[in-house]
């Protein structure tokens, strides 16, 4: 999962921007750059919880590993 997929899973640029308190253009730049600033990770994880977004996804992207398997949400496993 890369930054573009994470942003899409969280509802897109507008939804992410509203959640973290920034402009949608800022989120577009994150997607193009392929990096989400760590100070926004908690909000991204909360927003993407249903899609299985975890801190591991964000940390692995930051560390340079572009793809991590998406976690299966608990309700999908039940």
Q: Provide the whole-model pTM.
A: 0.75
Write out residues in the chain with pLDDT < 70, as ranges: 65-78
- Residue 50's alpha-carbon distances to 13, 27, 64, in angstroms, are 17, 20, 24
pLDDT digits (tens, 9 = 90+) for 13-23: 999 999 999 99
Tell me the domains of the chain and their CATH numbers: 3-77 (1.10.260)
């Amino acid at each position: 999962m890369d930054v573009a997929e994470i942003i899409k899973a969280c509802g897109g640029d507008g939804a992410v921007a509203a959640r973290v308190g920034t402009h949608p253009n800022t989120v577009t730049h994150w997607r193009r750059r392929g990096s989400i600033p760590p100070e926004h990770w908690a909000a991204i994880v909360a927003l993407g919880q249903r899609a299985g977004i975890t801190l591991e996804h964000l940390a692995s992207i930051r560390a340079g590993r572009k793809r991590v398997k998406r976690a299966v949400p608990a309700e999908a496993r039940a």
